[in-house]
Amino acid sequence: MPGNPAVLISGLTKTFGHVRALDGLDLTVHTGEIHGFLGPNGAGKTTTLRILLGLLRADSGHAELLGGHPWRDAVELHRRLAYVPGDVVLWPTLSGGETIDLLGRLRGGLDQRRKKALLERFDLDPTKKGHAYSKGNRQKVALVAALSSNVELLLLDEPTAGLDPLMEAVFRECVTEERGNGRTVLLSSHILAEVEALCDRVTIVRDGRAVESGTLAQLRHLTRTSVAAELDRIPELPGVHELMVDGSHVRFEVDADQLGETLRILTESGVRGLTCRPPTLEELFLRHYRSAP
Amino acid sequence: MTGTFELVRLALRRDRLMLPVWIVVITGAVAGTASAIAELYPAMEQRVALGVTIGSTPALQGITGPVFDATSVGGLTAWRATNLAAVLAGLMSILLVTRHTRAEEETGRAELIGSCPVGRHAIPAAAVILAAGANLLLALLLTLALSGQGLPMAGALAFGLAVGGVGWLFAGVAVVAAQLAEHARSANGAAVSVLGLAFLLRASGDAAGIEALSWASPLGWAPRVRAFAGERWWVAGLLVLTGLVLVGLAALPARRRDVGSGLLPARRGPADAAPRLASPQALAWRLQRGGLLGWAAGFAVVGAMLGALATSVGDVVDDNPQLAAILERMGGAGALVDTFLAAEIGILGLVAGGFAVQSALRLQAEEVALRAEPVLAGAVSRREWALSHLVMALGGTAAVLTAGGLAAGSAHGARTGEMAEQVIRLLGAAWVQVPAAWVLAGIAMLLFGLLPRYTALAWAALAAFALLGQLGELLQLDDWIRSLSPFAHLPQVPAQDVSAAPLLWLTAVTVALALVGIAAFQRRDLAGN
């Protein structure tokens, strides 16, 4: 990847009282990519973003954002990025349109044409007061404010949690366009389908630590393929996992490096039917979360 | 109502420190007053003399309420302590109720609780039950404390009921305000404004000897329970009943109200922001201007009332040649009016301190509600954001006192026929209060930076300053304790001349407190959820 990474984090730790929210987290987001930051609630995603925004101070470790220091250079850096929090709270007495303009101006201006277009695409009424919006509409206000700003980096914290499927599709289009415009996106999410559809690379976090990071293809390669077959006879199958035998049907998972050997054994056992499926992100994810670290 | 009991337990747990402190301080102040009076005026003649000379001075009655029986220790205690204890009980109840109703909704905790099997009324009901319990306990402790000093049981009970009754009534005011208002702060502000208005109605009525004005204020009812002076139990009943009616009123809208929205209908706003809404300062102004306007209007009304009444204070003396003779020796009727004005404007200063606290703590309200986050995620430094609301607190404090001083001067000037002179004098008197009220904003900023979870201590400081100012002399507290209150250092304008030194160093104290607070805020983590 060319140039400096947009986000470079290594060995980041942060504790709140007795809770260790981040425990040596590593994360690299290359410039121009959409990076999925995947993990369940409480894994440390929001804490990481808040450290990147200079709202929290890390206990130890290294964090670099657009070549600057997230805490020290906060004001300068914030001109070059936009943030959508997971829990969008608006000022009750300001209209949505006023909030969008204000947030844009606070980070140095926004593109009115793009704002109008986004309001239309997200089907958002900007004249309502903040307290009158539903959760989904509050999220849209923050999204429009972020997407209509001229920034290099978008930090999005579970931005679709309150959106209906139609609006989620609009969101995906918009984010894909942003990448087309050369922007970098760090998308924190626990919705696997979203990450799978949008992201170039993924980092999976668990208990404040990155357990996996890479392109989806790389991650898949590291993991197992699901196989279901109907055979004449049931052979010995060394090196497979989660084996289930039901009459002449077998179902199992196999590691990438064992796949060739296993297929040879199956062929020798008289294959009548065979389905091979690469692992979904969900399976990847569950594998990391089911077993102890 | 399902789940109310669990909510009460939760609230008790969250308030296990602040609530006992309020109750103990109020009880302690009253018990201290009773023992001070018993010690200072052991003989009947001394008490009667006190009752006649000071007790019937209208300016003092404006602050303390009427004296019904100056012959007994109990009667003098009731005269001296009822009003102050009642105001503090009211403030305690307001802070308690808004904290557990609207503040909960604003921070979203109410939604979390509302999603559990909890009845629609459970949250306000829990707050009301807690306030009822707190005031009942306060009444009980007051009764025990006073009867424990050998005062008659009936009077002690009446005193306890009068104070606890006012506290309960303002719990009702607060719960109604919480239902009507959009945010905790405006609910707080609305209920505190009602308390302030009630105080000034009673003060004006008692100072001018207009019974109807005093009866228009629940704070006027408390002394009229006549503890230790032929108790009138039905007045205590009136307090309790009015509280019940208010709570019932609040229960009506709760059924129709969606969580998080007030009763006042939502209006539409502009689709685009005005060009000047482009900085944290513009946002702070936008968020606070409504509240500031309300406070300024309140101060203007109250100031006009004080100004209009001031000359009647002199008239009352005219009707009583004996008293006039005594007061003549103390400086004459003209000086009496000025003493009254100085004392009342001093109380306006305390109330302005309340505005200063509320306005500065807007920072914390914004932070806890997660509305600071989007601002600070913009190209806005922490200092710039903190200053934006501090400017509103300091400027607003000066503005509300200016409104009060101008109105008092105009009204008083209209009565005396020396308009320009009185406007200048009373505006000066109001401005003298500004640096002392600012100190409270400074304390709020310090707490916000250093101890953000204990910002309620700024309100406690305001209550403490009020106590020191009102009872410090009577309780014969050491000078150094009384000088802890910034208001103790102010010259009594217009009764005394202005001296610049205390005003300058109080301003310096404010600046120092605020700077330390902002520096601490720049170093700490922002609150999350």
Secondary structure of B459-520 in HEC code, one letter for each residue: HHHHHHHHHHHHHCCCCCCCHHHHCCCHHHHCCCCCCCCCCHHHHHHHHHHHHHHHHHHHHH
Q: Cα angle at B490 between B484 and B495, to 5 degrees?
A: 140
The token pair that represents A285 in the structure block:
């994810």
Chain B residue with the nearest C-alpha to that of A56: B525
Question: Parallel, antiparallel, or unpaired: how do β-strands A34-38 and A201-206 relate?
Answer: parallel
pLDDT 10s digits, A138-162:
999 999 999 998 899 999 999 988 8
Contact A56 B525 (CB under 8 A): yes
Write the DSSP assignment of A4-21 as a string of letters: S-SEEEEEEEEEETTEEE
CB B206 within 8 A of CB B61: yes
Q: How far apart are CA B35 and CA A7, in angstroms?
A: 68
CB B489 within 8 A of CB B433: no
pLDDT 10s digits, B308-366:
877 766 665 565 555 555 555 555 556 778 877 888 888 899 989 999 998 999 999 89
Chain A residue with the nearest C-alpha to that of B521: A55
* Res B194: pLDDT: 86
The token pair that represents B501 in the structure block:
């030194």
Shortest CA gap A62–chain B (Å): 17
- DSSP β-bridge partners for residue A60: A13
Q: What percent of chain A has pLDDT over 90?
A: 55
DSSP reduced 3-state for A255: strand
A48 membership: H or E segment, kind and range:
helix A45-52
Environment class of B330 (CB within 10 Å of its CB; exposed 0-12, middle 13-18, buried 19+): exposed
Using the structure block, give the residue that is written with the tokens 């293809």.
Answer: A217
Shortest CA gap B264–chain A (Å): 12
Contact B278 A102 (CB under 8 A): yes
Which residue spans within A79-152 are E strands per DSSP? 81-84
What does the buried/exposed string (b/e) look like for B450-486 if buried means 16 or more CB atoms within 10 Å of the residue's CB?
A: eebeebbbbbbbbbebbbbbbbbebbebeeeebeebb
Q: How far apart are CA B228 and CA B78, in angstroms?
A: 7
Shortest CA gap A48–chain B (Å): 12
Contact A131 B529 (CB under 8 A): no
DSSP reduced 3-state for B266: coil
Which residue numbers in chain B have pLDDT < 70?
1-2, 53-60, 102-120, 181-189, 253-267, 312-334, 529
CB B34 within 8 A of CB B40: no
Which residue spans within B25-88 are E strands per DSSP? none
**Axis-axis angle for helices B382-416, B419-450 (nearest 10):** 160
Contact B526 A55 (CB under 8 A): yes
* Res A152: pLDDT: 94
- Enter the ipTM: 0.84
Q: Using CA atoms of B290, B204, B326, B227 in order, give the dihedral in degrees to the nearest 10.
A: -110
The token pair that represents B264 in the structure block:
């006042």
* Res B151: pLDDT: 94
B2 membership: H or E segment, kind and range:
none
Domain ranges of chain B: 1-259, 278-529
Shortest CA gap A284–chain B (Å): 29
pLDDT 10s digits, B246-269:
999 887 765 554 555 555 555 688
- Which residues does chain A have within 8 Å of residue B529's beta carbon, measured at their own beta carbons? 87
CA neighbor of A73 nearest in space, from A59, A104, A52, A47? A52
The partner residue sitting opposite A97, judged by closest CB among B272, B286, B528, is B272
CB B78 within 8 A of CB B228: yes
Q: Which B residues 185-244 touch A at CB under 8 Å?
A: none
CB A174 within 8 A of CB A121: yes
Contact B183 A92 (CB under 8 A): yes
Contact B260 A83 (CB under 8 A): no
In chain A, CATH 3.40.50.300 covers: 7-219
In chain A, CATH 3.30.70 covers: 223-290
CA neighbor of A65 nearest in space, from A189, A152, A135? A152
What rounded mean pLDDT belongs to chain A? 89
Contact B268 A95 (CB under 8 A): yes
Q: Which B residues 99-118 touch A at CB under 8 Å?
A: 108
The partner residue sitting opposite A131, judged by closest CB among B182, B268, B370, is B182
Q: Which B residues 16-45 touch A at CB under 8 Å?
A: none
- Least-confidence region, from A112-116, A288-292, B248-252, B286-290: A288-292
Q: How far apart are CA A123 and CA A50, in angstroms?
A: 29
CB A29 within 8 A of CB A186: yes
Q: Within 10 Å of residue A111's Cβ, how many Cβ atoms?
A: 14
- DSSP β-bridge partners for residue A214: A202
DSSP reduced 3-state for B86: helix
Shortest CA gap B434–chain A (Å): 29
Q: Cα angle at B146 between B145 and B151, to 5 degrees?
A: 145
* Res B469: pLDDT: 84
Chain A residue with the nearest C-alpha to that of B288: A93
Question: Parallel, antiparallel, or unpaired: how do β-strands A34-38 and A184-189 relate?
Answer: parallel
> Pick the residue with more confidence: B405 or A212?
B405
DSSP reduced 3-state for B77: helix
Q: How far apart are CA B356 and CA B474, in angstroms?
A: 28
DSSP reduced 3-state for A251: strand
Separation of CA B453 from chain center: 22
Which of A19, A98, A148 best probes binding to B when mutated, by most B CB atoms within 10 angstroms? A98
Which of A53, A77, A105 best probes binding to B when mutated, by most B CB atoms within 10 angstroms? A105
Chain B residue with the nearest C-alpha to that of A112: B272
DSSP state of B378: S
Q: What topology does CATH give the domain A223-290?
A: Alpha-Beta Plaits (3.30.70)
Contact A53 B377 (CB under 8 A): yes
Q: How far apart are CA B482 and CA B408, in angstroms?
A: 28
The partner residue sitting opposite B528, judged by closest CB among A50, A105, A107, is A50
Contact B270 A53 (CB under 8 A): no
Which residue spans within chain A are E strands per DSSP? 7-16, 19-29, 34-38, 60-65, 81-84, 153-157, 184-189, 201-206, 209-215, 224-231, 240-246, 249-255, 271-277
Provide the residue type at B454 as one letter.
Answer: Y
Contact A106 B525 (CB under 8 A): no
Contact A91 B371 (CB under 8 A): yes
* Res B334: pLDDT: 60
pLDDT 10s digits, B14-30:
777 788 889 998 999 89
- Which residues does chain B have within 8 Å of residue A118's beta carbon, measured at their own beta carbons? none
The partner residue sitting opposite A98, judged by closest CB among B269, B374, B380, is B269
* Res A95: pLDDT: 94
Environment class of B71 (CB within 10 Å of its CB; exposed 0-12, middle 13-18, buried 19+): middle
What architecture (CATH level 2) is domain A7-219?
3-Layer(aba) Sandwich (3.40)
Which backbone phi and psi does A151 adopt, to 5 degrees? -125, 165
- Which residues does chain A have within 8 Å of residue B381's beta carbon, measured at their own beta carbons? 74-75
Which backbone phi and psi does B337 adopt, to 5 degrees? -60, -40
What does the buried/exposed string (b/e) look like for B147-181 if buried means 16 or more CB atoms within 10 Å of the residue's CB?
A: bebebbebbbbbbbbbbbbbbbbbbbbbbbbbbbb
- Which residues does chain A have within 8 Å of residue B286's beta carbon, measured at their own beta carbons? 93-94
CB B505 within 8 A of CB B430: no
Does B265 touch chain A if contact means CB atoms closer than 8 Å? no
**Three-state SS annotation for A176-220:** HHHHHCCCEEEEEECCHHHHHHHCCEEEEEECCEEEEEEEHHHHH
- DSSP β-bridge partners for residue A164: none
Q: How far apart are CA A248 and CA A235, in angstroms?
A: 11
Shortest CA gap B472–chain A (Å): 42
The partner residue sitting opposite A101, judged by closest CB among B182, B272, B376, is B272
pLDDT higher than 50, residue A292? no
- Which residues does chain A have within 8 Å of residue B377's beta carbon, measured at their own beta carbons? 53, 55, 78, 82-83, 85, 107
Which of B264, B276, B277, B524 best probes binding to A when mutated, by most A CB atoms within 10 angstroms? B277
**Axis-axis angle for helices B153-180, B18-40 (nearest 10):** 140
Residues sharing a CB contact under 8 Å with residue A153, sequence separation 6 or more, in sequence order: A6, A7, A65, A66, A80, A81, A82, A183, A184, A185, A186
Q: Cα angle at B85 between B447 and B248, to 5 degrees?
A: 90
- Which residues does chain B have within 8 Å of residue A75's beta carbon, measured at their own beta carbons? 379-381
Q: Work out how many CB contacts closer than 8 A connect A with B.
A: 121
Contact A129 B278 (CB under 8 A): no
* Res A1: pLDDT: 42
Residue A158: which region, alpha, beta or left (left: phi > 0; alpha: psi -120 to 50)? left
The partner residue sitting opposite B269, judged by closest CB among A76, A87, A95, is A95
Contact A106 B378 (CB under 8 A): yes
- Least-confidence region, from A15-29, A182-196, B436-450: A182-196
Residues of A near B (CB-CB distance < 8 A)? Answer: 46-47, 50, 53-57, 74-76, 78-79, 82-83, 85, 87, 89-103, 105-108, 112, 126-129, 131-132, 142
- Which residues does chain B have within 8 Å of residue A132's beta carbon, measured at their own beta carbons? 261, 266
- Which residues does chain A have within 8 Å of residue B261's beta carbon, measured at their own beta carbons? 131-132
Shortest CA gap B364–chain A (Å): 14
